Chains A and B, each alone.
Chain A
Amino acid sequence: MSKPITELTSNRPVFEEHDPEEVLTTLNLGPTHPATHGVFQNVLQIDGERIVSGVSTIGYIHRAFEKIAEHRPFYQITPLTDRLNYCSAPINNMGWHMTVEKLLEIEIPKRVQYMRVIVMELARIADHIICNGILGVDTGAFSGFLYLMQEREFIYEIFEEVCGARLTTNIGRIGGFERDFNAVAFTKIEEFVKRFPAVLAEFQELFTRNRIFIERTSNVAAVTPEQALDYSWSGPILRATGVDYDVRVLSPYCSYEEFEFDVPVGTNGDVYDRFMVRNEEMTQSIRIIEQALEKIKGEPKGVFHADVPEFYLPPKEQVYTNMEALIYHFKIVMGEWETPKSEVYHAVEGANGELGFYLIHDGGRTPYRLHFRRPSFINYQMFAPMSSGMLLSDAIINMSSLNVIAGELDA
């Protein structure tokens, strides 16, 4: 077991330093190393198995999202947000829609909000499945990953039923959804809620009291709350250190304040705690979905978008027959809508932490500036400083437990 981190060194290059006895080895980990699950490069100086210092290089899939966003109308930015954190694309989509709705001050019907909550919580489960499954693989337990992957496929089936796509969903529109959930979707969601807890329990049984797993993860990469806050961590890894910061609770969006759920926190901030926090969050997500399904029953049927014809595309058959619909269709597609000149920051609790959208709008067709506050980017910067003193194998596990998604990291 490696020691908890007591002091973080700064994130500086190490190669200018002279190594008089030449005992250190330089190891280039990445950018295509299989153990890193993504394109991260870390050049580490190691003394035997122990890391002395390291430098992270990122940007290997930098795609210039923010520059593209300055050239796209609002509804064309949704597919970009898909590709930020592609493991939980719906949360990004909804976050972006809500940012625009906040800017345009659109009131969203309760039923749509509950539908969004369902989709977002399913996405959170799908994301946590990947992270915890991969953590299992990295510690040498492959079967847990395979058990959970089947459930993830089921979530993707639900997404297909709702919007037609699996991974990069482009789900919903500004103002609501493009279509109502059909009966099959509701049946599948209900089935998922019924069967997932058992699978999760089976998965947890494999790990939580497993001697090997505990030895590999407990006290590895333990972070104190002060360090985590100093580095602006957010999401499950911050909660694992014991800070109960959850955007869903602190700045509720989408009627999260009506739901009853717990925010799990850890005590130690180590890899084991992060694993446990994510597991518990999946359970809580199921609780939220159950409540949302119940609440939807009390709402008027068939409402799936807000009544804002100037921002929500009319149904296609009306465009061909109805003059008014045609005009709105034309105006929306051409970006001829009345929008305020203002700026807005909206944050949602992404699967990895606070996913923020900072939108500056000058009333034009495209955003003047759109900045994404990407949790993976901000969470990952502690990786190199926190690795010093750690064993190489622990650093790998630490990286999987941070759940850094390359698309979100490099934007």
Chain B
Amino acid sequence: MDKLNNQQLLQQLTDHFGEDITRHEEPYGLLTVHTNKERIIELLRFLKESVGFIYLTDITAVHYPEGENTFAIVYHVHNLVENIRVRIKVSIPVSDPKIPSATVVWAGANWMERETYDFFGVQFEGHPDLRRILNMDDMEVFPMRREYPLEDPNRVDKRDFYFGR
């Protein structure tokens, strides 16, 4: 049997999800499909159970403040037998950052989602234990959102005039 390639995979996905695969591209040979948050868990489950993408590589998010101010939630999954990876993106608005949790498909999604919540404030619905993981519990902001500065704003020893700004 031939190895599964990006075209066949995309065909399978569009056959099943039709309109819900809104967009796709192939940067550097890695198939990237865009879908929506209503069907993301179904899609991940389909990939895992029917196409053999048993390995969840990573979950993360990207903040795009320009235009509509959205988060892109990015899933990387890997089919270890056919040796093919696929990237799935879901775009959600920052004003209502909710998406179903992938912990029902992979137990390993737990901390990846907690990290994403910690950094961006994305609410993963159905997550068993959505708490901060890396930052302090009493932190009030979600530091990876692009409006927050890198440096601690409370520093007093770092005056702007030392840095010519």
Contacts and interface: CB of A to CB of B under 8 A. Distances in A.
Asked if A and B form a direct contact in the complex, defined as CB atoms under 8 angstroms apart, the reply is yes
Contacts of A10: 107, 128-129
Interface stretch (B4-12, B80-88, B90-98): B80-88
Interface stretch (A57-65, A170-178, A196-204): A57-65
A342 B135 CA distance: 30
B119 interface: yes
A251 B82 CA distance: 11
B106 interface: yes
A67 B120 CA distance: 12
A11 interface: yes
B28 A342 contact: yes
Interface string A354-377: 101010100000001101010001
A344 B129 contact: no
B144 A8 contact: no
B134 A345 contact: no
B108 A230 contact: yes
Contacts of A59: 132-136
A12 interface: yes
A58 B110 CA distance: 14
Contacts of B119: 66
Contacts, number: 96
Contacts of B135: 59, 62
A229 interface: yes
Most buried by B among A243, A245, A369, A377: A369
Contacts of B51: none
B76 interface: yes
B29 to A, nearest CB: 10
Contacts of B76: 345, 356, 358, 373
A229 B129 contact: no
Nearest to A354: B57
Interface string B140-165: 00011010001000000000000000
A382 B83 CA distance: 25
A231 B57 CA distance: 10
Interface in A199-242: 229-233
6 contacts: A8-B107, A59-B136, A68-B150, A229-B55, A251-B83, A377-B115
Given A356-B57, A378-B112, A381-B111, 13 more contacts: A11-B110, A12-B129, A59-B135, A67-B150, A71-B150, A229-B55, A231-B106, A232-B109, A233-B108, A344-B27, A356-B76, A377-B115, A381-B110
Interface of B: 27-28, 30, 32, 54-58, 60, 62-63, 74, 76, 80, 83, 85, 87, 106-112, 115, 119, 128-129, 132-136, 143-144, 146, 150
